[in-house]
Amino acid sequence: MKEKDLTVSRAKEYIKERLKSVSLEKERVELREGAKLVIHIAPMDIFKYPNLNFDIGLDLTNTNKYHVRPFYGQGWNMSSNEKGLFCFSSGCGYVEIATDGIVEILDQCLLSSDALPMGIFEKLIIEGLTNIQRDLKNLDVNGELLISVSLINIKGMRMATESYFGGTAFSDVYSSEDLHLPYVELQTVEENLEKALKPAFDYMWRAFGYKYSHSYTNGTFSKV
């Protein structure tokens, strides 16, 4: 197996194991049973050089300097835990940036109804990841990154979109338990997130019966 393939395989295996464990944070942030949006950002160097100890230089004595926020919720608490920076909104979810650079995001409030509000759903993901990207740019994060986006326990949900007549149109019901979007690879932390995420968003729309994401116009995200 080529070195790049082995590195990607290790990163994907780590993410799969974390997806099995996200419910362990249930008591700390008052999570409930039901649908979850789970996102991981993994610096590839961690999995390319597994015997090295990476430290991106988080200042855990002054956590309020960072821009990271939970994706949804009226208020949040910024703190630290055994892994690194931990920002959470009780009942909605959390964002955790580990000292080695691995980011884990869990959100339930974006999936609190039986229909995904497309456009605003993608917009909040882009905005949330942009806040994280802003912090990572100012930390010692180098090389390629792998982004994983998963919608967990969404069986029975529909997609709500704007109809051609100005109202709301609903897709057919999603029949599987989970929806794992294609992995997104960034060459550097500076890469444009809107463009990088488009293939993953197109895949999500196709899962609900559409040909592509209607939130983009000529390749540019247009739901502002």
Q: Is the pLDDT of residue 28 over 70?
A: no
Q: Is the pLDDT of residue 76 over 90?
A: no
Instruction: Give the distance, in angstroms, between the CA of residue 101 and the centroid of all CA atoms in the same chain.
Output: 14
Q: Looking at the whole model, is its pTM more than 0.85?
A: yes
Q: Minimum mean pLDDT among 29-33, 92-96, 101-105, 147-151: which range?
A: 29-33
pLDDT confidence bin for 183, thresholds 50/70/90? very high
**Which of 218, 208, 199, 107 is closest to 161 using CA atoms?**
208
Q: Minimum mean pLDDT among 19-23, 34-38, 66-70, 151-155: which range?
A: 19-23
pLDDT confidence bin for 2, thresholds 50/70/90? confident
Confidence at residue 18, expressed as pLDDT on a 0 to 100 scale: 92
First-to-last alpha carbon distance for the chain, in angstroms, is: 43
Eight-state DSSP code of residue 27:
T
Confidence at residue 10, expressed as pLDDT on a 0 to 100 scale: 95
Percentage, residues of the chain above pLDDT 90: 69
Q: Is the pLDDT of residue 22 over 90?
A: no
User: How many Å is the Cα radius of gyration of the chain?
Assistant: 17
pLDDT confidence bin for 124, thresholds 50/70/90? very high
pLDDT in tens, 88-113: 888 888 999 999 999 999 999 899 88
Q: How many domains does the chain have?
A: 1
Domain that holds residue 204: 3-221
Residue 136 · residue 155 · CB < 8 Å = no
Give the Å distances, CA to CA, from 204 to 14, 34, 173, 188.
23, 19, 13, 24
Beta-carbon-side half-sphere exposure of residue 219 (alpha carbons within 13 Å): 3
Confidence at residue 26, expressed as pLDDT on a 0 to 100 scale: 53
pLDDT confidence bin for 169, thresholds 50/70/90? confident
Residue 54: what residue type?
Answer: F
**Could you give the CA distance from residue 199 to residue 203 in angstroms, rounded to a whole number?**
6
In this structure, the chain runs to a length of: 224
What's the average model confidence in pLDDT over 49-78?
88
pLDDT confidence bin for 162, thresholds 50/70/90? confident
Helix 120-137 to helix 193-207 angle (10° resolution) is 150
